[in-house]
Amino acid sequence: MIKQFDVIVIGAGHAGCEAALAAARLGCRTLMLATNLDTVAFLACNPSIGGTAKGQIVKEIDALGGEMAINADKSILQMRMLNRGKGPAVYSPRAQVDKNAYHRNMKQTVEHTPDLFLRQGEATNITVKDDGSFYVTTAVDLTYECNAVVLCCGVYLNSRTLVGQCVRDSGPNGFSNAKLLTDSLVRLGFNVSRFKTGTPARIMLESIDLDKTVEQCGESDVDPFSYVTESIPATKRSCYLTYSTAKTKEIILANKHLAPIYNGSINGVGPRYCPSIEDKVVRFSDKERHQIFLEPESEETCEFYVQGASSSMPASVQEQIYHSIEGLEHAEIMRDAYAIEYDCIDATQLDATLMAKHIPGMFFAGQINGTSGYEEAAGQGIVAGINAERYVHGKSPFTLRRDNSYIGVLIDDITTKENTEPYRMMTSRAEHRLILRQDNADLRLTELGRQIGLVNDIRYGKYLKKKEQIEQCEKQLSTVVSPKIYRPLFEQKNEPVTGAGLTLDEMLRRPNIHASDLQALGFFENIDNNALYQIELECKYRGYIEKEKESIRQADKLESKTLPSDIDYMKIDGLRIEARQKLNKIRPKNLGQAGRILGVSPADIQILIVYLAQNIHN
């Protein structure tokens, strides 16, 4: 018999877990297929969650009612806040997590979620039925029927791993790959590309000379990822900083001809912003050394991850490379570094809901869309899962915007720009990053998550309390404080005393005055630190924030001008040929999205504005 589901999610990585959990929690009978149940939320590369721009995405997933933040908090080994010296717009939380615990915790969450069924099985074919529903067939010849399907295949499609000339037909970490599904996607009209990524060796802790490294402990003043987690534990395991050497460079250059990325063995395009150690040495030949971070994989193992030294060199050369790094002269390699090639689709074939433009009900999320990173995958996963449910139940689609989330920036980028390499989220990609801070993700997105139905009462109650406290603080900002009261504080903080009364707002604009200082003077009583922090940032950066808000308002004028789906751009006089071709291919929803397509110039947008005014009434 063919088993029937509302939604089938193919893949059980970070995108798959968020997609399946979202769909099931919203009331869909959901099946999640995994090639191997040991791959559920498996951290195939670095054992960490968050980081620059990625930490913002984790907070946004949590605000929408997702699981990644909660699971990361359960699995923390240590946590830090990155970019503290660069201003709050780019502060980014990053956690070293226990990869074994992370997998176990997420698998247990999936197993105990009502309406969510976890099944080991390799999907090999997808058939679109005449009524628009789908058949999904597995390698053991089981067939499942569904109304919506979400593909979250990660790096498993036709993947192969390379260590020098040793090429294995496998997925990451030796897991089986998915060999037949790509052909099914091609038959369904999807354009497929070949991308590549890699991972470093794992080495034995006891073989590291830690005296030659710098210990990196966690920080105690970092909030958890999730707004429902009360606190994070003290550092359980330290990381260590070291460096490659001139000898490292010499070894790599002498063996460059053996590197698959240079001798033609690898066909896939690798990530520009996360290069292998051999690629770094060649591309940045003026540098004599590179940072290497040694990161614990779990409390249960002595394996350490050599961050910054991924490689696809032969194993014998890898040993020479790692032994040339400070503190690793006698390192025992437990797992070889490797590169991995895999198939992915052209994400410009998707719309902002991550649904295929030409096949309603078929959604894609994660590295199959040409992105890199656990967090980017999970962010796409929750959006795809939400929209799969909404599609099944005939609801209006859910989309995020560039001005309300990093996830919105990510999805807009991959669906409007043709990426020729794995896409990695960075703070520089978000033009409104002062608005999209990691500390205010709950204020930006919790209401949306509540409206969708994923934010439960506990999470929503915490949000309402924080919002209420911020409003209480805002009412006090106009309170005038006499010099007699604030003089001792200002003198202590080296702030000039004017002799006139100052409002709390004016005091908070002073660089050295913080909301906690004013609380010590008796103001903002019974206000939590998170609410205080919001008030302080809004005061200190008000001018910049208002400029960004005005920029958003101006951008809204273009975003609000919709483009009919049936426009033939080839017939619009004045548009350059490249613009016509790109617009016809991507078919943007509005002028704002059209302006972000590579190959469409501001002059082309002006021509479109005139065309709309003359022919279309928005």
DSSP characters for 488-533? HHHHHTT----SS-EEHHHHHTSTT--HHHHHHTT-STT--HHHHH
pLDDT at residue 160 above 60?
Answer: yes
Closest CA to 459 of 91, 25, 95, 97: 25
pLDDT digits (tens, 9 = 90+) for 45-103: 999 999 999 999 999 999 999 999 999 999 999 999 999 988 899 999 999 999 999 99
Q: What's the average model confidence in pLDDT over 465-479?
A: 95
Q: Which pLDDT band holds residue 267 (cuts at 50, 70, 90)?
A: confident
Does the pTM of the predicted model rise above 0.85?
Answer: yes
User: Lowest mean pLDDT: which of 75-89, 268-282, 523-537, 598-612?
Assistant: 268-282
The 8 Å CB, 24+ separation contacts for 136-141 are 136/8, 136/10, 136/33, 138/33, 139/180
Element (H, E) at 547: helix 542-559
Q: What is d(CA 294, CA 482) in angstroms, rounded to the nearest whole number? A: 53
Q: Which of 156, 225, 216, 226 lies closest to 185, judged by CA?
A: 156
Q: What is the mean pLDDT of residues 294-305?
A: 97
Class of domain 3-196+342-452: alpha beta
Residues 6+ apart with CB under 8 A from 400: 352, 383, 407, 408, 411
Q: What percent of the chain has pLDDT over 70?
A: 100
Task: Express each pLDDT in 310-333 by its tens digit.
Answer: 999 999 999 999 999 999 999 999
Give the Å distances, CA to CA, from 259 to 161, 168, 243, 334, 341: 13, 16, 21, 21, 14
- Domain ranges in the chain are 3-196+342-452, 202-341, 461-547, 560-615
**Torsion angle of C-alpha atoms 529, 532, 533, 534, degrees rounded to 10:** 130
Tell me, what's the pLDDT at 420? 87
Q: Which CATH class is domain 461-547?
A: mainly alpha
319 and 344 in contact (C-beta within 8 Å)?
Answer: no
Pick the CATH number of 560-615 from 1.10.150.570, 3.30.960.10, 3.40.605.10, 3.40.140.10: 1.10.150.570
The arithmetic mean of pLDDT across residues 11-31, rounded, is 98
Question: Residues 6 or more apart from 487 whose CB is under 8 A from it?
Answer: 497
- For the segment 328-376, what is each residue's pLDDT rounded down to a tens digit? 999 999 999 999 999 999 999 999 999 999 999 999 999 999 999 999 9
Rounded-to-integer distance, Cα 575 and Cα 496, Å? 59
pLDDT score of 266:
81
- C-alpha–C-alpha distance, residues 597 and 271, integer Å: 21
Task: State residue 616's pLDDT score.
Answer: 73
CATH number for the segment(s) 202-341: 2.40.30.260
Q: Looking at residues 149-164, what average pLDDT do you find?
A: 97
385-433 pLDDT tens trace: 999 999 999 999 999 999 999 999 999 999 999 888 999 999 999 999 9
d(CA 181, CA 138) in angstroms, rounded, equals: 9
Q: State the maximum Cα–Cα separation within the chain, in Å, rounded to a whole number.
A: 84
| pLDDT for res 265 | 82
> pLDDT (tens digit, 9 = 90+) per residue, 502-533?
999 999 999 999 999 999 999 999 999 999 99
Rounded distance between C-alpha atoms, residue 316 and residue 259, angstroms? 12
Determine how many CB atoms are found less than 10 A away from the CB of residue 61: 30
Predicted confidence at residue 270, as pLDDT, reads: 76
Residue 555 confidence (pLDDT): 87
How many Cβ atoms sit within 10 Å of the Cβ of residue 140?
9
